[in-house]
Amino acid sequence: MKYAVFFAFLAAPAFAEDCPTAPDHSVELSALFEAVRAAPDERTAQPLSQQMWTLWLDAPDAAAQEVLDQGMRQRANFDFAGAYDSFDALVTYCPDYAEGYNQRAFVSFLREDFAAALVDLDLTLQLAPDHVGAQSGRALTLMNLGEIPQARAQMLEALANNPWLSERALVAPGAPLGPVDQEL
């Protein structure tokens, strides 16, 4: 049955006005940001970060959730073209749902289409300014585009929200952020 919902969603014309508003998890996310900033170590912070992802991945309705989940399965199976198409359908259906853009950006990043990834990451951050995954993803994308000072600034913003990101080593004193060690 769940595949019937997915295929019906992809086959039917999707209209943005049909997508309900994404769940508002701002109160929960605010508490998680506070807790992760106060975490004494990475082991304590990791479950908090996972809880953030659970909230970001909560789609506006069952149809959107199925398309999101399908796209993530496709990406996990290295079907990047299929995943991109799924996430593209999701953002067409739910243009105000930040995670659709974030996941499409991740697929573009994996395909090394950094310019497309950056566009979607900017859209994600317009909708969800404190989305740590999009912030760190944007930093990595900028790094791959050779925009080292911007990449560093973006990573520092992400680390202000979650100091335990695995990418934190990229901005450690003396650590290069990118293919060329520029002034950090």
- Dump pLDDT digits (tens) for 144-167: 999 999 999 999 999 999 999 988
Question: What φ, ψ does residue 25 adopt, rounded to 5°?
Answer: -105, 20
Amino acid at 95: P
DSSP secondary structure code for residue 79 in this structure: -
Render 84-113 in DSSP notation, one character per residue.
Answer: HHHHHHHHHH-TT-HHHHHHHHHHHHHTT-
- Dump pLDDT digits (tens) for 115-129: 999 999 999 999 999
Chain length of the chain: 184
**Residue 22 to residues 62, 96, 172, Cα–Cα distance (Å):** 11, 8, 36
- Dump pLDDT digits (tens) for 40-91: 999 999 999 999 999 999 999 999 999 999 999 999 999 999 999 999 999 9
